[in-house]
């Protein structure tokens, strides 16, 4: 090859490399869907109004995501969110099934075996054909109580169950004292707080106690239910509608005990005490986001609407009382395509980029596998034959 041809070939090769690098740079500059950054297609939708509600467990996170324009929030000016009354998981499931909500939140999915199927659905197949159910948050719940100056008491699953069944009625009971050697326990009546409506937090609570005490059948989330039947405590009991009301009871009622999502306890430092619980290895743990995150990784089974419980997982430092929160939408959004598109893009965002704000709100960021599962499921939501999540 002569020098002129060699020079020309070299220039062509160099140009080709430069073109390739430029193309790569442009591709690399593309904004990831769900990132929340400028150009994210999740933030571009038709004008829409989203009616949503249900789980009070996830309410602090949802409220943060859908309110204002701060960092990490779902800042889409085309979308208006209705008021979320946080009336409980049963309300979320029934609301989306009836069409009252575009999105229903529940601490456990619609599941025939769990007793959480909406009216009119008699098989898991029918539910799966009609709805997409995706995890959007991961959190831990705690056993809280009001005994100022006595934080982090040790309470075993059996002792907690005995309190709710009415066989332990005072804080200085010998079974509690045996777990807390050297602690001066007050001679106070225990006031038992419970959720008075269908509650996902109740489901997780009773499920945890059932597994930890090796009783059956599994919990169904019904009011005041434990070990497959109504709790036996009948005096000094207080029923509340949601986590916020439970927190208010624990904050203001001396001698009370209850169960609630961790962020509600974090919001009331000093006025709500939290119990140490035993993990599956028998070790005593104080609640923390770290050991709550371990609850998800302790379960190796693939997450699904029939494999969703993450209570009492095996492993070191695994918080025994944790749960995912699920968002539920109808697969067929033909009648309300704009709202449907806004709903799935909002859910895709909060389950990806929005997870960066999970810890700040008292939750654990979703594992990568759970985020991937959510996106895969949301791609099933359509208006006619149009997949709404991928629509730009």
Which domains does the chain carry? Answer: 41-139+323-387 (3.40.190.10), 141-297 (3.40.190.10)
Residue 109's closest CA among 366, 324, 320, 293?
324
Q: Along the 392 residues of the chain, how does pLDDT read in single tens digits? A: 444 333 433 433 333 433 333 333 333 346 899 988 888 999 999 999 999 999 988 999 999 999 877 678 999 999 999 999 999 888 999 999 999 999 999 988 898 877 788 888 989 999 999 999 999 999 999 999 999 999 999 999 999 999 998 999 999 999 999 999 999 999 999 999 998 877 888 888 888 888 888 865 555 555 556 544 567 888 898 888 889 999 999 999 999 999 999 999 999 988 999 999 999 999 999 999 999 999 888 886 667 777 788 888 889 999 999 888 999 999 999 999 999 999 999 999 999 999 999 999 989 999 999 999 999 999 999 999 999 998 66
pLDDT confidence of residue 223: 57
pLDDT confidence of residue 377: 96
pLDDT confidence of residue 344: 98
pLDDT confidence of residue 292: 93
- 235: DSSP letter: S
pLDDT confidence of residue 170: 98
Q: For residues 343 and 294, is the Cβ–Cβ distance under 8 A? A: no
Q: For residues 57 and 90, is the Cβ–Cβ distance under 8 A? A: no
pLDDT confidence of residue 229: 54
- CA distance from start to end of the chain: 51
- Model-level pTM? 0.83
Tokens describing residue 346: 């909002």
pLDDT confidence of residue 364: 92
Spatial distance between the Cα atoms of 202 and 221, rounded to a whole number of angstroms: 5
Which residue do the tokens 């599994």 mark? 218
C-alpha torsion sign, points 67, 68, 70, 74: positive
């Amino acid at each position: 090859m002569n020098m002129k041809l060699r020079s020309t070939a070299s220039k062509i090769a160099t140009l080709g490399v430069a073109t390739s690098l430029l193309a790569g740079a442009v591709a690399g500059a593309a904004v990831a869907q769900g990132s929340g950054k400028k150009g994210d297609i999740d933030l571009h939708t038709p004008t829409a109004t989203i009616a949503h509600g249900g789980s009070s467990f996830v309410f602090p996170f949802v409220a943060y995501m859908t309110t204002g324009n701060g960092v990490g929030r779902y800042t889409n000016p085309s979308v208006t969110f209705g008021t979320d009354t946080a009336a409980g998981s049963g309300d979320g499931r029934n609301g989306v099934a009836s069409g009252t909500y575009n999105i229903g939140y529940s601490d456990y999915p619609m599941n025939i075996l769990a007793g959480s199927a909406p009216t009119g659905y008699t098989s898991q197949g029918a539910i799966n054909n009609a709805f997409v159910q995706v995890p959007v948050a991961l959190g831990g719940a705690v056993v809280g109580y009001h005994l100022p100056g006595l934080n982090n008491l040790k309470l075993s699953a059996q002792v907690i169950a005995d309190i709710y069944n009415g066989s332990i009625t005072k804080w200085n009971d010998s079974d509690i004292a045996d777990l807390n050697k050297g602690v001066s326990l007050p001679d106070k009546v225990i006031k038992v707080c419970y959720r008075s409506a269908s509650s996902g937090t109740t489901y997780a609570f009773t499920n945890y106690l059932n597994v930890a005490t090796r009783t059956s059948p599994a919990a169904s989330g019904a009011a005041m239910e434990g070990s497959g039947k109504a709790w036996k405590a009948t005096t000094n009991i207080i029923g509340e509608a949601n986590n916020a009301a439970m927190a208010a009871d624990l904050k203001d009622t001396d001698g009370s005990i209850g169960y609630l999502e961790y962020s509600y306890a974090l919001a009331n430092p000093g006025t709500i005490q939290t119990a140490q619980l035993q993990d599956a290895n028998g070790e005593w743990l104080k609640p923390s986001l770290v050991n709550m995150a371990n609850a998800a990784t302790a379960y190796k089974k693939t997450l699904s609407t029939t494999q969703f419980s993450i209570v009492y997982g095996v492993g070191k430092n695994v918080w025994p009382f944790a749960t995912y929160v699920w968002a539920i939408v109808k697969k067929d959004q033909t009648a309300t395509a704009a709202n449907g598109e806004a709903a799935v893009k909002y859910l895709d965002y909060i389950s990806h980029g929005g997870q960066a704000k999970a810890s700040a709100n008292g939750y654990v960021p979703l594992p990568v596998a759970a985020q991937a599962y959510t996106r895969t499921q949301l791609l099933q939501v359509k208006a006619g034959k149009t997949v709404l999540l991928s629509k730009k």
